[in-house]
Chains A and B, each alone.
Chain A
Amino acid sequence: MKIGNFEDIERIKERGLKKLKPEDRIRVSVGMATCGISVGGDAVFDAFRGMLGYRDDVILTRTGCIGFCHEEPLVNIYIPEKGILILHRVQPESVKDIVNNLDSVETLDSVLCQIDSWDHLVGGKIEYGNGFEGIPRWNELDFFKPQRKLVMRNAGIINPEDIDEYIAVGGYSALYRVLKGMTPDEVIDEVKKSGLRGRGGAGFPTGVKWELAKNEQSDVKYVICNADEGDPGAYMNRNEMESDPHSVIEGMIIGGYAIGAHKGIIYIRAEYPLALYRLQKAINEAKSYGLLGKNILGSDFDFEITISKGAGAFVCGEETALIASIEGETGRPRPRPPYPAQKGLWGKPTNINNVETWTNIPLIIKKGGEWFRQFGNEKSPGTKVFSLVGKVENVGLVEVELGTPIRTVVYDIGGGAPKGRKVKAVQTGGPSGGCIPAKFFDLPIDYENLTKVGSIMGSGGMVVMDENTCMVDTARFFLDFSVDESCGKCVPCREGLKQMLTMLQGISSGEGARSDLETLSELSETIKTTSLCGLGQTAPNPVLTTLKYFKEEYIEHVDKKRCRAGICEDLVYAPCHNSCPLGQDAPSYIAYIAHGEFDRSLEVIMRTNPFPGILGRVCDHPCELHCRAGEGGDPISIRALKRFAADRGAMPHIKIETEKDKRVAIVGSGPAGLSAAYFLRLKGYGVDIFESEDKPGGMLRIIPDYRLPKDVLDREIKRIEGFGVNIKYGIKVGEDKTIHELFNEGYDALFLGVGFRNGAKLNIPGEEAEGVFDGISFLKRVAKGEKLDLGENIYVVGGGNVAIDAARTAWRIAENANVNIVYRRTRREMPAIGGEVEDALFEWINIEFLTNPVKIITENGRVKAVEWVKMKLGEIDESGRPRPIPIEGSEFVTPVDTLIVCVGQTPDLSFAKGVEGLNLAGNTVSVDLDTMATSLKGVFAGGDIVTGPSTVVRAAAAGKTASESIDRYLKGGELKREFKVVFPSENVPLLKFSAEELKKLSLMGRVESPKVPLDRRRGSFVEVEKTLDVEAAIVEAKRCLRCDVKER
């Protein structure tokens, strides 16, 4: 029946409302947009249908996607009087349970949130019920709180295949308003007033664009909806069409009226069959209600819409190419001018807008342009739907006001990167956009700002990248896409992009040169300036932005043949090996364990690791962070497996090369020095270590026993001594001997591994008082066996490994005290090893975040209390982390008996006193980081004294690099380091697994090391972590994906 007047609409509205809110019946709506279906939504729907088929007290329908794709399949259950409950991650198996508990659905585990009322904006607020007790409202969830649903006002609530429901929430009332009382000019004015900008990417003011087409004189005009959403990773438009197709149609009819067009065409990509189906259905429904066709709503305006399919060409998203495609040509863009508004489809004035732009129109007409302007900011009013994908916890469709900072979207809504990794950058605008580094995440998202940093808004794709994303590879990926999708008409795009891709592939495989970087820039400029259409003009953006913000990665690829993220195939043997500073061949040693050959495993380890027993216990395992099994699963327990091999395997026979008659002096027996000593000794050099203390190990010795038992430490160092390394104790270089004296004694080269042995100060009043320790001294004294009385209230300030060590040590010494760690930032920013922090929390150590000490209150020279201040997160600094800022007036005082300050370390620079020619950079020694050579001939340095406080493995790696440089130096050759891609060639054969075993391995979580139970830990320094037992180790080793095997 055709709608002619207001009463008709009201009647349908009533009917629709009864469907949305049935009076005495429960309504179950299953989320059935493509994202929901792809994770099993259709199976869930079928399960419900199977169970509910015979019942008439429950209605079963479909709905679209509310945006929380990560939690799909979602099911809405409307209970009369109460409201809607949204259930998440519903599986077909759990449907039975749900159906059997429909009268108490709110008690089910799978309830995510509730909707008691929902503002459909155009149709006003609908009260769905009085609500459920104790269940969070949808907009109280972190994911939805910062969002503002304008475009997605109906998505996930109404049935997209029923026009009555659309009308029930106010649908077509805007069209009614237009046809019953607005002139085309008035419509255009309203759109202009709203400031709406094209949501397809370019952001051209929509009202102005409409006006251009309106002013053209022609009997025939066209209005087109660009639904060729081609950006990979962007699927907002698809959802808009699948969840609320009528909003697009209504928008187009209004647009047609304003411009004077009677024909609308939706150009939709072929890869969207469901959207196409729903749009066509909606068109048919609208036609049957007289909302399309002749004399719409009884006016003298005719309008019809047809759908035109694309066929897999991204370039057809460009206006002139789109038009060519509709005309039955290949999708090659045409030069502009003339613009489509003047000469478009079939040569007639044509207005093209993106899907999302159209969905905004009914809203703007009904609520007014002024109303719209209250969202967003001045130059970019309104909202934008972004598809938040990639390395982010909460993948989904997010609608926020323009002007929202990136950090809100990535961290607050998205939840940051999974597995505690650091977010490195965000890519907006798809292949035409750019990568924005984390340090710019305070940037408000709008058209101008994104362009300013070199990116574009695009259609709204937002891909989050973490530290395991290689920016060179990312640029290459996008260029590959653009090369594939280029129409090929103009030379800069067709030939230029291809040449750029060739260069990037070369860089990615270690064959690039520095000159390539310049050529890439030059070529990018020409392609941007001279390309015929937007595809070519924007395709170089990913390269330009990554070159600008991540140049170090390019330089590493080119100069050092290194891909730090572990992605570029030709440069990476395996991500674990690639990220290990020592270059441990983890895939091989793990594979040997899987084969049961523990001795061979240890042999492989010791090729590049001087003390596996130590590193197997205390390493911060960058390998596990990059482990590919950790993508969508658990990373392999690589460190525990290394420890297993160290504890279980027999010491291999290690050959020392022919004895050389050169001698090297090593200053410091910490990890850097020990490592340099080990590798130099294996090369046959005479090695003497000068240690100022009476025991070896440096910082290793202050690591508490419960982490690194002293007998293990001594055993590992004894092994190194066993190769012929002499450690001379009690000699402090700089006081007892000078560097020059050492050379005079006949040493041919020197390695400085003196570390950062002292604790840094807070520099607040009262720090000199008794009971205040710096972390390093505290741990040293405990390691020496001193008995300390720490009192009842122990506070440790800091967030690094020293702080955790100090806290857990204090907890053991002072059995009845309460131990607290105070850190000025949040958990996410804590630099300590994740496992250590977890253990600290397990041991009931309290961690206060966002708190900082202000002053120490003393009595009789002893600490009595501390005044603290609460912090809040401020602007993001260079490191990409938000700076903590004190909150005024939030100071508070607590009683403190012992305060341990672990806020940093400082070096003892006495070794450099009076040494001419040894360049320092602040309080570190300057070296060439490739060779570890200092400015003094024959003197090398590595470890903390070069980098500042860092980790054991990095110090060991520095020692190893130095040993190679010293070797070259002593042989009289070129000191300069040659960078070559060399992969280990152990080639441990792959194990064959049965299908069940494979399934079990892929489903199981990771095997963790057994730990001493809590009650045995307090008051004791017994080693907390135990070695894996044989079975556990073999199973865990089998989980390894063997990324080292390229051909399978």
Chain B
Amino acid sequence: MPPLFLILRGWLMDRQQIEEIIGKYKHPEGKILSILEDIQEVDRYLSKETLKVVSETLNIPLSKLFSIATFYSFFNLKPVGEHIITVCMGTACHVRGAAGLLNTLENLLKVSENGTTEDGKFFLTTEDKHFSLNTARCFGCCSMAPVVKVDEKIYGYVTVNDLPRILKEYGWKEDENR
């Protein structure tokens, strides 16, 4: 996890910092994905300006970078919420009721389908940018299915009733007029 101050400062890396990251990768194999992942680790998403800087520095057309960023599920192209909630939608979790968890979370967080970006990725962020909700295909924690991850913490054997309690740990407030 990158240092807290980097996240809280709210602004993104500048050209020099980006070039530093690029410089880490000497060999061409797999370097583009690694560079973008490293940038996202700090900035939490890839902004247009960032992609432009990468495009110029690496001499890769912006169209290609954009294509890559929108192809791979890993990359966020829109700012993300403070806390990211990921529901595992793997087979074992599905078979133990993950879909119900996702529905309930959507209702509790009051996020709707309109959160999808134009590249069609499922990533819903609350209005106050407190939470972002997305899904993952499998964390590999099938023995404790169904699994929900908030930031880096993994919760297992989650039932619908556990969700408000878990969300409250991250500052979620239940709405009075529901």
Contacts and interface: CB of A to CB of B under 8 A. Distances in A.
Contact of A628 (B71, B89, B97): B97
A70 to B, nearest CB: 5
Contact of A311 (B29, B36, B67, B142): B36
Contact of A270 (B67, B74, B103): B74
A750 to B, nearest CB: 45
Contacts of A1002: 159, 161-162
Contacts of B162: 1002
A1046 B138 CA distance: 25
A1001 B159 CA distance: 12
Contacts of B103: 1046
A477 B138 CA distance: 13
B96 interface: yes
Interface in A597-632: 628, 631-632
B30 A325 contact: yes
A634 interface: no
Contact of A314 (B31, B33, B96, B137): B137
B140 A469 contact: no
Contacts of B34: 308-309
Given A270-B37, A1041-B159, A232 B73 contact: no
Nearest to B147: A38
Contacts of A310: 33, 72, 74
B124 interface: no
Interface string B135-163: 01111111111010000001011011110
Contacts of B114: none
A512 interface: no
A265 B104 contact: no
Contact of B145 (A235, A329, A389): A389
B30 A267 contact: yes
A235 B140 contact: yes
Contacts of A487: 71
A35 B141 contact: yes
Contacts of A233: 90-92, 138, 142
Contacts of B137: 230, 232, 314, 481, 485
A34 interface: yes
B24 interface: no
Given A39-B144, A265-B30, A311 B91 contact: no
A308 B33 CA distance: 8
Nearest to A272: B140
Nearest to B104: A1048
Interface string A305-317: 0111111111000
Contact of A632 (B37, B91, B96, B104): B96
A903 to B, nearest CB: 36
Contacts of A338: none
A390 B92 contact: yes
Contacts of B157: 632
B176 to A, nearest CB: 12
Interface in B24-41: 27-34, 36-37
A943 interface: no
A39 B29 contact: no
Nearest to A396: B143
Given A265-B30, A326-B30, A39 B142 contact: no
Contacts of A265: 29-30
- Give the contact-size bracket for chain A: 35 or more
A919 interface: no
B68 A330 contact: yes
A142 to B, nearest CB: 17
A308 B92 contact: no
A311 B95 contact: no
A632 B159 contact: yes
A774 interface: no
A383 to B, nearest CB: 21
B169 to A, nearest CB: 11
B90 A311 contact: no
Contacts of B142: 69, 233, 235, 387, 389-390, 395
A349 to B, nearest CB: 16
B90 A313 contact: no
B29 A1041 contact: no
B36 to A, nearest CB: 7
Nearest to A628: B97
Contact of B160 (A485, A1041, A1047): A1041
A628 to B, nearest CB: 7
B91 A631 contact: no
Contacts of B164: 998
Contacts of A469: 95
A632 B97 CA distance: 11
Given A395-B143, A632-B96, A313 B29 contact: no
A463 B95 contact: yes
A964 interface: no
A514 B105 CA distance: 35
B138 A232 contact: yes
B110 to A, nearest CB: 12
A354 interface: no
Most chain-B Cβ atoms within 10 A of its Cβ — which of A234, A310, A311, A396?
A311
A391 interface: yes
A485 to B, nearest CB: 8
A566 to B, nearest CB: 11
B53 interface: no
A190 interface: no
B130 interface: no
A465 B136 contact: no
Given A311-B73, A313-B73, A632-B157, A38 B29 contact: no
A35 B154 CA distance: 11
Interface string B86-102: 00011110111101000
* The 3 residue pairs across chains A and B that have the minimum distance between CB atoms: A308-B30, A312-B73, A232-B90
10 contacts: A38-B139, A38-B144, A69-B142, A70-B143, A232-B91, A308-B30, A326-B30, A327-B28, A427-B91, A1041-B160
Interface of B: 27-34, 36-37, 60, 64, 67-68, 71-75, 89-92, 94-97, 99, 103-104, 107-108, 136-145, 147, 154, 156-157, 159-162, 164-165, 168
Interface of A: 34-35, 38-39, 69-70, 72, 230-235, 238, 265, 267, 270-272, 306-314, 325-331, 345, 387, 389-391, 395-396, 427, 430, 461, 463, 465, 469, 474, 477-478, 481, 485, 487, 569, 628, 631-633, 995, 998-999, 1001-1002, 1041, 1046-1048
Given A469-B95, A1048-B104, 13 more contacts: A39-B156, A232-B94, A233-B138, A233-B142, A235-B142, A265-B29, A267-B30, A271-B140, A328-B28, A328-B60, A328-B68, A463-B95, A481-B89
